[in-house]
Homo-oligomer: A and B are copies of this chain.
Amino acid sequence: MTRVHDLTRRLQKDNGSKIVLLVSDGLGGLPLEAGGKTELESADTPNLDALAAVGETGGSIPVLPGITPGSGPGHLGLFGYDPLEYDIGRGVLEALGIDFELGSDDVAIRGNFCTIDPDGKITDRRAGRIASEIGERLCEKLDAIEIPGVEVFVRPVKEYRLVIVFRGDGLGGRVNDTDPQTTGVAPLEPVGADEPSQKTAGICKEFLKQAGEMLADESPANLLTMRGIAMLPEIPRFQEVYGLNPAAIAVYPMYRGLARLVQMDVLDAGTTLESQMDRLEATWNDYDFFFIHFKYTDSTGEDGDFDGKVERIEQLDAAVPRITALGPDVLIVTGDHSTPAKMKSHSWHPVPTLITSDRARTDASTAFGEDQCRTGSLGRFEAQHLMLLALAHADRLEKYGA
């Protein structure tokens, strides 16, 4: 996708116009019965419907047809980065998810507390799913580990899950998982695939040795395994590739972290959609691109709660007038992927998307929903091209070639 960013670098122009990207996580859905309505179609959404009526609608393909993305690739695509080119390691995503501010020299690791027997063989890969409070106490203990040449950070995530970060010069991220994915065997030795990663592997070993000593008397969590050892991907700055001054208004750490990955300004968004809208209004003059993230359409979908997702969509719809009142030149409403309540999981289905601007080729859509989006004038498009459309509708791209 380098070529697309070469294009936007070359063609970008700043005309002061403002773009709002409203991401309703997991927005797309499925009808519970064939021929029925999806969550979005079931919801009463007068404001989104009005936008669909004056804008262009279509379906966004997050990665490729049939490929279901996680939150990382889903958002990278929306930000215009090829999700197949920029791979975010699991450790990095876990660190972003707890609001840990990763630097470019950091190696991030997802840890799992586990139980080993006296022979050093794993008997429980999740240490009996210990309570979060126990995990927190153990992490505090491990955070005292000292290894020459690196700073060590140990942070709890939830239950048996933790994040370990090594900060130091010359580290690499190409180290295997030590989790053997089975019980009855010892954890695997960390091995580096190149010289910087060998340095990391050595630090991992020292960390695991000290952790083993510190946890020896604990039960059931008397060791930990390491997974998804990774560094931040080298990824061009959003501002540099698009010529936009971007702000992220997201409640959940993971999405703040993903925005930080492309170096958006991450604003204090409070904890509710209302506080997010307050922040948007307060900073409207300070930025020309706003990424607003709404989590609950995904979490209700994951819970299989069709009606709950409908309610959350209606809640989002009710906030839309506060955005339109600001008069954005371009307003996009989409999701990073679909999360049909029927499937209780993310899915690959195209995500209903609408774009409003003065340059919209209006289509027959009169409401915002999967069925109408299917025949909208945006057609079916790859999520990673959405930023091109956003810039075009904002009149922020010069003509390509004479």
- State whether A377 touches B379 (Cβ < 8 A): no
Q: A66-B388, A68-B397, A391-B66 are known contacts. Are A84 and B7 too (CB-CB below 8 A)?
A: yes
Residues of A1-51 whose CB lies within 8 A of B? 3-4, 7, 11, 30-31, 34-36, 38
**Residue in B53, B387, B391, B400 whose beta carbon sits within 8 Å of that of A73 in the complex:** B400
Flag whether A374 is at the interface (Cβ < 8 A): yes
- State whether B381 touches A361 (Cβ < 8 A): no
Residues of A50-88 whose CB lies within 8 A of B? 53-54, 59, 63-73, 83-84, 87-88
Residues of A342-385 whose CB lies within 8 A of B? 342-343, 345-350, 359-364, 370-371, 374-377, 379-382, 385
- State whether B401 touches A87 (Cβ < 8 A): yes
**Residue in B72, B360, B380, B393 whose beta carbon sits within 8 Å of that of A402 in the complex:** B72
- State whether A53 touches B34 (Cβ < 8 A): yes
Chain A interface residue count, CB cutoff 8 Å, equals: 71
- State whether B73 touches A379 (Cβ < 8 A): no
- State whether B93 touches A346 (Cβ < 8 A): no
**Residue in B54, B93, B346, B400 whose beta carbon sits within 8 Å of that of A67 in the complex:** B400
Q: A7-B67, A66-B397, A392-B68 are known contacts. Are A374 and B381 too (CB-CB below 8 A)?
A: no
Q: A374-B363, A380-B379, A385-B64 are known contacts. Are A3 and B34 too (CB-CB below 8 A)?
A: no
In the complex, chain B residues whose CB is within 8 Å of the CB of A84: 3, 7
Flag whether A158 is at the interface (Cβ < 8 A): no
Most buried by B among A88, A371, A389, A399: A399
- State whether A73 touches B401 (Cβ < 8 A): yes
In the complex, chain B residues whose CB is within 8 Å of the CB of A399: 68-70, 345-346
Flag whether A90 is at the interface (Cβ < 8 A): yes
Residues of A248-286 whose CB lies within 8 A of B? none
Other 16 A-B pairs with CB < 8 A, given A4-B64, A342-B359, A363-B371: A7-B67, A30-B359, A36-B362, A64-B385, A66-B389, A68-B399, A70-B401, A70-B402, A72-B401, A73-B400, A83-B400, A83-B401, A87-B401, A364-B371, A370-B377, A380-B380
